[in-house]
């Protein structure tokens, strides 16, 4: 054991960590974990806030000494040094055990896509209590299955000297039914997973399942799980009977949870929604939960489009209903993009939604501006902005191609977008997205690339010099090569393309040489 501090008084206080404000009560379990970490690593926060040079000599020494608390580290020191180490650690009140640095990604997400680390302490305790309860119920359910298997085999149980047959009573079975119902509720509450075991549901007694008909000795037989194979057997039966009923809707839900990429099930589900006149808002709410679990699944978004197409004619005469739908869908899209800001399926659906619900204008534009402000390199956001601005039917030509001049677009919109792109280029000159956007805007406005020549020249200097050249954006050089070509200055255009390949962008040298050859061909 390290020796106790016998010095007392000022010597003990001299090595205490710098005083800090009384820590706030943690609001979330993530905050609580960080508080525990800093409590067991008392000098870490001083190091992070002040750096080594900003710490007092005593704090700095205590910080370094903490490293020797790692298993086996102190034994690398001589005995005398070890004694001095333990003395200093004791005087500095350094905890002998410390927690590892937390990882904010460790918590995972709940069924609604919320990070569990953002739960309050009470919420997380309630959440873990449900998980614990579910595990206990699963354990009891496993014991029940073992007990019933022993009874089915006719096993006997020795109680003292008496052999009693193993039995599974009706009370045991009823208790298991109730247990499974409670488990299903917990699984739905925790994970959004619905349980509908056919063998325990009398509703399915009239259906004769149709199993997968693989020929004997099939070379590529798929090893389906038992649960999935059973569900598909019932699906084949109800589809063959062309049944559209609530139980079939529940069946599709179960199969989608097992295999969300099964497009036939999605099509069948939509036909049921149509025939039963299922509430579209309710179906969309269910679909949201599936989407948070399978964010890259294409069928989810195809189903969503079908739902909107089916629902829209019923609300098209009610502007308030259309506005409410647009608002709810936009909020959902924002949540999905928070999980993956460049999810292709989400952006494709967003374009569809803008067209379908007429979500042109400031609200959508401001939403995109916020995303670009958060990540100026988000090419998906730049593409969507171009779509919103230059596909708005109020000031664009219908079906105008993205790479052709549209005389209907007002000059003030072109000017606005040019200045917007320039402002973002100045933030990150080597970011290709706003340069491409700027070029597209000029094309839409029927303006020559030369109108931004002075702006582009601001990012290059003395390109022809071997020693004094300065280039802050290779994309500016690319645009300038085009501008010089546009002006008929083929020599300057060739110089910029050659310098890009030789010095400023050699990884794409083959491309720049190809551009030079095209330039030569045009000269010829």
Is the pLDDT assigned to residue 322 strictly greater than 60?
yes
**Whole-model pTM?**
0.60
Average pLDDT value for residue range 155-170:
83
Per-residue model confidence (pLDDT) at position 328: 94
Per-residue model confidence (pLDDT) at position 89: 78
Q: Name the H helices within 391-489.
A: 411-427, 432-444, 453-457, 474-487
Percent of the chain with pLDDT over 70: 93
Confidence of residue 371 (pLDDT cuts 50, 70, 90): very high
Are the C-beta atoms of residues 502 and 524 closer than 8 Å to each other?
A: no
* Interaxial angle between packed helices 362-374 and 319-339, expressed in degrees from 0 to 180 and rounded to the nearest 10: 10
Q: Is 71 helix (H, G, I), strand (E, B) or coil?
A: coil
Per-residue model confidence (pLDDT) at position 233: 92
Sign of CA dihedral 14, 19, 25, 27: negative
Confidence of residue 171 (pLDDT cuts 50, 70, 90): confident
Best mean pLDDT range from 49-53, 159-163, 492-496: 492-496
Average pLDDT value for residue range 19-42:
77
Q: Which of 60, 52, 49, 58 is nearest to 20 (CA)?
A: 49
Average pLDDT value for residue range 184-208:
73
Average pLDDT value for residue range 434-447:
96
Percent of the chain with pLDDT over 90: 54
Is the pLDDT assigned to residue 19 strictly greater than 70?
no
Q: Indicate the average pLDDT of the chain.
A: 87
Are the C-beta atoms of residues 215 and 185 closer than 8 Å to each other?
A: no
pLDDT digits (tens, 9 = 90+) for 223-272: 888 889 889 999 999 999 999 999 999 999 999 999 999 999 999 999 99
Per-residue model confidence (pLDDT) at position 138: 87
pLDDT digits (tens, 9 = 90+) for 65-114: 777 777 777 778 888 777 877 777 787 777 777 778 888 888 888 888 89
Per-residue model confidence (pLDDT) at position 12: 42
Are the C-beta atoms of residues 76 and 47 closer than 8 Å to each other?
A: no
Is the pLDDT assigned to residue 23 strictly greater than 70?
no
How many residues are recorded in the chain?
524
CA atoms within 13 A on the CB side of 111: 16
Q: How far is the C-alpha of 253 from the C-alpha of 188, rounded, in Å?
A: 13
Q: Which residues have a Cβ under 8 Å from the Cβ of 202 and sit 6 or more positions away?
A: none
Average pLDDT value for residue range 274-292:
95
Q: What is the CA radius of gyration of the chain?
A: 34
């Amino acid at each position: 054991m390290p020796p106790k501090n016998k010095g007392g008084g000022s010597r003990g206080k001299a090595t205490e960590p710098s005083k800090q404000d009384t820590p706030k009560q943690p609001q979330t379990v993530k905050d609580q974990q960080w508080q525990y970490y800093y409590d067991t690593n008392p000098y870490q926060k001083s190091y992070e806030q002040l750096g080594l040079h900003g710490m007092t000599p005593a704090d700095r020494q205590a910080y370094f000494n903490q490293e020797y608390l790692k298993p086996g580290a102190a034994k690398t020191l001589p005995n005398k040094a070890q004694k001095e180490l333990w003395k200093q650690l004791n005087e500095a009140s350094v905890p002998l055990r410390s927690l590892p640095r937390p990882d904010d990604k460790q918590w995972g997400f709940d069924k609604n896509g919320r990070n569990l680390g953002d739960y309050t302490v009470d919420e997380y305790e309630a959440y873990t209590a449900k998980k614990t309860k579910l595990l206990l119920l699963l354990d009891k359910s496993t014991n029940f299955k073992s007990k019933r298997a022993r009874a089915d085999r006719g096993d006997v149980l020795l109680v003292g000297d008496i052999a009693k047959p193993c039995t599974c009573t009706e009370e045991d079975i009823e208790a298991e039914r109730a247990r499974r119902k409670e488990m299903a509720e917990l699984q739905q509450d925790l994970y959004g997973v619905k349980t509908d075991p056919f063998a325990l549901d009398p509703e399915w007694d009239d259906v004769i399942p149709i199993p997968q008909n693989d020929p004997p000795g099939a070379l590529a037989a798929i090893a389906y799980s038992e649960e999935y194979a059973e569900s598909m057997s019932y699906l084949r039966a109800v589809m063959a009977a062309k049944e559209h009923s609530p139980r079939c809707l529940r069946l599709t839900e179960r199969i989608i949870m097992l295999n969300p990429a099964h497009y036939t099930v999605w099509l069948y589900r939509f036909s049921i929604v149509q025939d039963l006149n299922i509430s579209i808002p309710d179906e969309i709410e269910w679909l949201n939960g599936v989407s948070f679990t399978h964010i890259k699944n294409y069928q989810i978004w195809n189903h969503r489009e079908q739902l909107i197409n089916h629902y829209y004619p019923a609300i098209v005469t009610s502007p308030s209903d259309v506005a409410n739908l647009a608002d709810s869908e936009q909020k959902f899209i924002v949540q999905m993009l928070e999980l993956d800001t460049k999810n292709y399926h989400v952006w494709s659906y967003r374009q569809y939604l803008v067209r379908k619900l007429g979500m042109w204008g400031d609200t959508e534009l401001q939403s995109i501006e916020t995303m670009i402000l958060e990540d100026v390199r988000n090419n998906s956001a730049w593409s969507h902005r171009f779509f919103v601005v230059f596909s708005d039917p109020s000031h664009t030509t219908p079906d105008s191609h993205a790479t052709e001049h549209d005389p209907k677009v007002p000059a003030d919109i072109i000017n606005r977008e040019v200045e917007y792109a320039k402002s973002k280029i100045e933030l990150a000159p080597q970011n290709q997205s706003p340069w491409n956007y700027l070029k597209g805007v000029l094309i839409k406005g029927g303006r020559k690339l030369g109108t931004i020549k002075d702006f582009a020249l601001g990012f290059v200097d003395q390109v022809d010099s071997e020693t004094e050249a300065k280039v802050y954006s290779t994309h500016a050089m690319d645009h300038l090569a085009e501008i010089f070509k546009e002006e008929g200055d083929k020599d300057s255009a060739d110089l910029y393309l050659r310098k890009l390949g030789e010095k400023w962008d050699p990884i794409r040298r083959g491309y720049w040489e190809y551009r030079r050859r095209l330039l030569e061909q045009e000269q010829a």
